[in-house]
Structure 1
Amino acid sequence: MTSPNPNQPLDLLGGRTPAQFMKSHWQRKPLLIRQAIPGFKPPLGIADLKRMARRDDVASRLIWREDGQWQMEQGPFARLPKASEPDWTLLVQSVDLHHDAAAELMHRFRFVPDARLDDIMISIATDGGGVGPHFDSYDVFLLQAVGRREWRIGRQRDLSLQPDLPLKILRRFEPEATYVLEPGDMLYLPPQLAHDGIAQGDCMTISIGFRAPDQATLARGMLEAAAEQVLARAGQPSGPYGEPALPGPRLQGRYRDPSQAATAHPAELPDGLAAAALDAVGRVRFDEALAHRFLGCWLTEPGATAVFDTPAADGPDLAAEWPETGMLRLDRRTRLLYRGRQLFINGETAPVSASPALRRLADARRLACAEPAARTLTEEERECLTQWLDDGWLVYDPEA
């Protein structure tokens, strides 16, 4: 894998460059791309997905209609409906965490920042199966993998939902366009564009979804990060947002009230104490460094079902001797981001700065041991990479 080139035309985008797509369609309007991946072969078969749905470390859902009513059940599933039964759909979440080929497919969409990429969900359905007319709060690419699926889409102002259902089904869906997708075809939908996909015979659809945090989530995260920074600067135990401490004030002054008068209402909160609390909060630093710390740690947290493999016992000690050949690559579950000199991996701030070589590893998700950038790694950086190998976050392939 190489770093994406924003100006390279891609079949994946119908011959458009990523720069053109992001300017003309991203978060603006839908796009149908016939044969986005010509001759596409799915990373997993239908039988593979059914087996995944049996596992308790894989998130899955079964959706069907019974007597005209929508029904949903959470996995794992010891049994699934027969393939001959119509109108059911199996959804398997975060397949990229469990399968290398699925992760490689998701990485083809890295012309959008990694901070926005979420996961690959794969659905299999029998004839008539679907999840009903709905809208998503995030961008999504819908790639047809097996069989045919009809998509009806439309922009509508009325986003009210049918009550008392286990799914978010639109009350009044008014489609404006209809497309039938065959294997290799793909449909991009911006947020809140209503859509309804119905299987025409047995089919498989791959959804590449993106993160779109709301303001409440971002505000809460910033407050948590600020609180941990306050603790870290005061020399108290903190969480991942606090270590290491960023530059900022150490809030160690004690409350004093030499002008407090005797009170006839001892249960009443004093004005001075409330003012002191507000003054203390006003001294907390909310700046870009804090935002980068919060976002870097939060967005690199491994998925809830991510479990890293035990590394090989004979793995190299990169600090002691750098290999002449081979390739270092990030494990499919590893998330590595950077901003400025801060480097974030799997929910932590890395103990080393984001050097050019480590940025290259983050952008390309691999680093050839023989390339010049690798030769610039410091001893401290090599020790860090060795620790990542031991943690299963990084993999060394001597044959690559």
Structure 2
Amino acid sequence: MRDTLLGGLAPGEFLARHWHKSPLLVRRAVPDFLGLLTPAEIKRLATRPAVQARLILRQGKRWVLRHGPFRPIDFKTLPDKNWTVLVQELNHWLPEGEALLQEFDFLPHARLDDLMVSYAAPGGGVGPHFDSYDVFLLQGFGTRRWGIAETEDLELLPDSDLKLLRRFSPQAQWDLEAGDMLYLPPHCAHDGVALSECFTYSIGFRAPTYQEWVEAFLDFLRDRLQVEGRYADPDLTLSAHPGEIPPELITQIDGMLRQQVHWTHSMVAECVGRYLSEPKPHLFFEPAEETLTLDAFELRCLQQDLHLDPRSQLLFSGKFFYFNGDRFELHQPGSTQMRCLADTRKLSARAMDAELLTVLHDAWQAGWVKFF
């Protein structure tokens, strides 16, 4: 698949020419790809309480957004056209979805978000919009017409649950068939309309705002700063205005903050690692159903491969690993094996040193890794 995924471009060429810069249409990016789901299967998924699903209907110029979980009757009462159902994080619910995401491992896992799937009746779509992140749109069975526009006019319609563009005029337009793929950089306006019953698989990437980073880092600092002392004003003088905040009070607090609140590059790296590996709030792990002692777990590791649970995120920076928000350090040879698990999301059956074995045993008990 890698030979065709980027239309003959090597990953480095794609990054230099298109990533974050310009759209790319690839015909037969995934040859013989018809998708990973049937209409009945995506509707069943959308009824599960743990699955994030949405239903979008177009009624003339009006768009209606509904959130799941849905009931089977909700789909039986839909019209014949102009609607779409979307399911987030298909890679969490379908092994084939996780495998599809791994075809994009020429990009950092820290940037990868999830695999979203949309199933649309003829005329269905989500309306003209733009994303603040990079996205690959891989077509399953059926045909969808995509119009795009590289424009600075990104004003949104007011009073809408959907972030739709007030004005959209496509500069280019293509009909995508099964296996075709369209890459779009951030802020590229686009609109996809189903010409027939169809599926589209969206590989999206994380792009936190600077405000989100600031809030995450302030939370990180709050849990780590320990400042001694208490405000005091032994040299307080008589004030003519008791309602006025003494300027000396503000000056003292300003000086304390400048002296006490500081950070280092390693603190920023730790915050980034924890933040990017932290599971989303709605995700939960199921602990292992069986009980294995450390010795029994070691024997199993010699017999079976270990895989990250699809909901798990394992990243590393320098000597530190970040596993679902936790940070730890490993020494050789465990560090090399753990990096392999982070890169490929699996670890072949093999012997492990005691340090790595303990970490993975804990992760297995928590449901973060699985045997296959």
Q: TM-score, normalised by structure 2?
A: 0.91
Output the CA distance in 1 between the equivalents of 2:278 and 2:344: 19
Q: Does 1:285 align with 2:278?
A: no
| CA offsets 1:155-195 (integer angstroms, 9 cap, x no match) | 11211122232222212112111111111110000011111
Output the CA distance in 2 between the equivalents of 1:128 and 1:84: 11
Equivalent of 2:321 in 343, 349, 359 = 343
Q: Does 1:361 align with 2:341?
A: yes
| Stretch moving more, 183-192 or 90-99 | 90-99
Tell me what 1:381 maps to: 356
| CA offsets 1:296-338 (integer angstroms, 9 cap, x no match) | 1111122344232331415462597454332121111110111
| Stretch moving more, 29-38 or 360-369 | 360-369
Superposition map of 1:117-132 within 5 A: 117-132=112-127
Tell me what 1:186 maps to: 181
Identity of aligned residues (%): 40
1:11–1:68 Cα change, 3 Å: same
SS of 2:190's equivalent?
strand
Give the AA of the match of 2:346. R
SS of 2:223's equivalent?
helix
1:43–1:303 Cα change, 3 Å: farther
1:316–1:330 Cα change, 3 Å: farther
Output the CA distance in 2 between the equivalents of 1:304 and 1:44: 26
Q: How many residues align?
A: 366
Superposition map of 1:219-230 within 5 A: 219-230=214-225
Q: Is the 8 A contact 2:145 2:195 kept in 1?
A: yes
1:167–1:369 Cα change, 3 Å: same
Give the AA of the match of 2:273. G
Q: Is the 8 A contact 1:300 1:346 kept in 2?
A: yes
Q: Does 1:52 align with 2:45?
A: yes
TM-superposed CA distance for 1:270, in Å, is 2.9
| CA offsets 1:188-208 (integer angstroms, 9 cap, x no match) | 000111111010110000111
| Stretch moving more, 88-97 or 182-191 | 88-97
Output the CA distance in 2 between the equivalents of 1:9 and 1:320: 35
Give the AA of the match of 1:65. R
Tell me what 2:272 maps to: 295
SS of 1:143's equivalent?
strand
5+ residue gaps, structure 1: 1-7, 235-250
Larger relative helix fraction: 2
SS of 1:80's equivalent?
helix
| CA offsets 1:111-139 (integer angstroms, 9 cap, x no match) | 11111111111100111111111111111
Tell me what 2:308 maps to: 330
Give the AA of the match of 2:318. G
Superposition map of 1:1-400 within 5 A: 10-78=3-71, 79-81=74-76, 85-230=80-225, 234=226, 251-282=227-258, 283-315=260-292, 317=294, 321-322=298-299, 323-350=301-328, 352=330, 355-370=335-350, 375=352, 377=353, 379-397=354-372
Give the AA of the match of 2:310. R
SS of 2:358's equivalent?
helix
Give the AA of the match of 1:292. A
| CA offsets 1:354-378 (integer angstroms, 9 cap, x no match) | 82221221112111232xxx54x3x
| Stretch moving more, 280-289 or 221-230 | 280-289
Q: CA RMSD in A?
A: 2.2
TM-superposed CA distance for 1:48, in Å, is 1.0
SS of 1:10's equivalent?
helix
TM-superposed CA distance for 1:293, in Å, is 1.6
SS of 1:180's equivalent?
strand
Q: Is the 8 A contact 1:318 1:385 kept in 2?
A: no
Q: Is the 8 A contact 1:147 1:183 kept in 2?
A: yes
5+ residue gaps, structure 2: none
SS of 1:324's equivalent?
helix
SS of 1:201's equivalent?
coil
Moved over 6 A (4+): none
| CA offsets 1:207-264 (integer angstroms, 9 cap, x no match) | 111111111111111111111110xxx3xxxxxxxxxxxxxxxx32343433222444
TM-superposed CA distance for 1:9, in Å, is 5.9
SS of 2:250's equivalent?
helix
